[in-house]
Structure 1
Amino acid sequence: MGLIHIEMFATLDLVGQAPGGPEEDPLGFPFGGWQAPLMNDVTGGQILAAYEGTDALLLGRRTYDIFAAYWPHQDGEGDEIAKLFNSIPKYVASRGRPDLSWEGSTQLGPDLAGAVREIRDRHEHVKVVGSLNLVQTLLHEKLFDRLDLWIHPIVLGVGKKVFDGGEVPTNVTLLEPPAASPNGTVYLRYGLAEGTPETGDMTASDQNG
């Protein structure tokens, strides 16, 4: 069985909406493209490394449309992300009828959970990029194995959040030490862990100490 990796860029208040540009989600969100001024070589290297070994993409409809309009035209020499994205299968979660002209694209059926499980059986490393609505479903169903978060040093106060109300109690485990870039962006890698969060009594611990 393969692994479902969620790759997510977020602000300090965990807004994940439209990091790449104003056109990603232009209706009612004034900060489209918030990630661009914060990009640097360290973060860029982390992102490239995170995509090593990827053999499929799993995308929501909006993210797929943005990618399909951009990446097929960027397959120049030295653009490793473009070469990767253009060469591997793309699976699209959508209730509508997306244009699947991007080579290697397939729309998932109405049983999303079942389709994701089939994809995980078919591929070793499936990456979910952006796609906040899809991510909410995967978090709720615990249909992910890895969660990579880049937390950027800004607070927006508005926008769709990575954790936005549909999650269930879940344990995760830190896979490697956090890594910070010079501007304060922190890269966190978590893996899905068994069980649900436990509780305790800090006052009892203080009394025993």
Structure 2
Amino acid sequence: MSSIVVQAFVTLDGVSQAPGGSDEDLDGGFPYGGWQMDFDRAASERADAAEENPVAEWEERTEALLLGRTTYELFASSWGVWDESAPGFQGELTRRYNRIPKYVASHTLTELPWKNSRLLRPDVPTAVAELREQPGGEIRVWGSTQLIRTLAEHDLVDEYRLMVYPLVLGTGKRLFSDGFPVSRLALAESRALPSGVLVNVYRRAVEA
């Protein structure tokens, strides 16, 4: 059996929109695109900034990607075209992302240019449930807040891995928006990085 694992960068007020770039997601006129990168650059100037990178560790377990349309198009135009021979983590992750299957939830896309991509439709929850029942490892969900909400509505998320940044933006798309389905979770891990980022891992709570 595989597991559906959501990974996200979020602020203290739960915003997960456009952490990696100013033009990543402009919906609603969001003015703070790239907030994670801005914070990381500032943190890197600290004398004690030699912190662990949990994402590198997590991505070693990724056996497939599950993405909504917007995140898929963003990833296809970055990881899908970047140089696999690039040094360090970027090259390593580019090679991995090109190799593994990509499952895409979209009602509008008809062609998927990134190799090893497959369109899930029309019944995404059923398709994801079938993927989850197959032998394998972690199916990784990045971004894709609408997809995550749909998965939560059908109890298909096994784990949330959140990197919580000590920022309050006051606006933007939230990972857990109003009306998000009730989800009972158990804290499996929590640790603070030297930068002040808090790494929290939550799994589905086991009922007594």
TM-score exceeds 0.5: yes
Alignment of 1:2-151 (within 5 A): 2-27=2-27, 28-39=29-40, 42=51, 45-74=53-82, 75-78=84-87, 79-122=91-134, 123-151=136-164
Structure 1 residue 140 displacement after superposition = 2.2
Distance 1:33 1:98 in 2: 29
Is contact 1:64–1:92 with CA below 8 Å preserved after alignment? yes
Q: Give runs of ≥4 in structure 1 deviating > 6 Å.
A: none
Distance 1:166 1:102 in 2: 33
| Deviation string, structure 1 residues 16-66 (Cα, Å, up to 9, x no partner) | 0011111211241001111102235535x2011111221100000000000
Matched, 1:187 2:199: yes
Of 178, 184, 187, which residue of structure 2 is paired with 1:165?
Answer: 178
Distance 2:86 2:25 in 1: 29
Distance 2:178 2:154 in 1: 13
| TM-score, normalising length: structure 2 | 0.87
| TM-score, normalising length: structure 1 | 0.87
The equivalent of 1:206 in structure 2 is: none
Is contact 1:59–1:93 with CA below 8 Å preserved after alignment? yes
Distance 1:117 1:85 in 2: 22
Is contact 1:170–1:195 with CA below 8 Å preserved after alignment? no
> Which protein has the larger Cα radius of gyration, Structure 1 or Structure 2?
1
Identity across matched positions, percent: 40
Structure 1 residue 98 displacement after superposition = 4.7
The equivalent of 1:207 in structure 2 is: none
Is contact 2:15–2:175 with CA below 8 Å preserved after alignment? yes
Q: Which runs of 5+ in 1 are unaligned?
A: 197-209
